[in-house]
């Protein structure tokens, strides 16, 4: 069965610190997609990044960067120089096909609550 593990449950940092959020996944599929979402207190899940299983290049977007390592089944997320507005719950998710048909579903980790203190 597919599984996403976010072992860290809560992280608290002081503004301007760097922080890494860990994500480990399990799948038997060779084709899959990994995602990170941010959920601020308002509740809406905000899409941050999508990465397919064939692209192991790291990605950087402003203060955000992602490290995808297939060998360790990990897709970690680093926030550089954290800010108070980064405080949210962050979810890692794995897209996998249903057993029948072409449709797919997302399997989410339990999320990591990040608190950035001024």
Is position 78 an interface residue for another protein (rule: CB under 8 A)?
A: no
| Stretch of residues binding another protein (CB under 8 A), selected from 26-34, 59-67, 69-77, 79-87 | 26-34
Nearer to another protein, 82 or 87 (CB): 87
Residue 35 to residues 14, 49, 94, 95, 96, Cα–Cα distance (Å): 26, 5, 6, 8, 12
User: Residues 6 or more apart from 3 whose CB is under 8 A from it?
Assistant: 25, 26, 27, 94, 107
Instruction: Count residues near another protein (CB under 8 A).
Output: 30
Q: Which of 76, 87, 90, 96 binds another protein (CB under 8 A)?
A: 96
Least gap, CB of 44 to another protein (angstroms):
4
Say how many C-beta atoms besides its own lie within 10 A of residue 84's C-beta: 10
Applying CB under 8 A, which residues contact another protein?
4, 31-33, 35, 37, 42-47, 50, 52, 91, 95-98, 101-111
């Amino acid at each position: 069965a597919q599984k996403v593990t976010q072992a860290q449950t809560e992280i608290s940092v002081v503004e301007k610190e760097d922080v890494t959020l860990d994500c480990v996944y399990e799948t038997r599929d060779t084709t899959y997609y990994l995602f990170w979402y941010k959920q601020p207190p308002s509740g809406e899940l905000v899409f941050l990044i999508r990465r397919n299983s064939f692209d192991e290049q790291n990605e950087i977007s402003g203060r955000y960067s992602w490290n995808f390592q297939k060998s360790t089944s990990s897709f970690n997320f680093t926030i550089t120089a954290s800010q108070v507005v980064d405080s949210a719950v962050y979810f890692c998710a794995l897209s996998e096909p249903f057993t029948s048909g072409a449709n797919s579903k997302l399997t989410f980790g339990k999320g990591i609550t990040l608190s950035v203190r001024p």
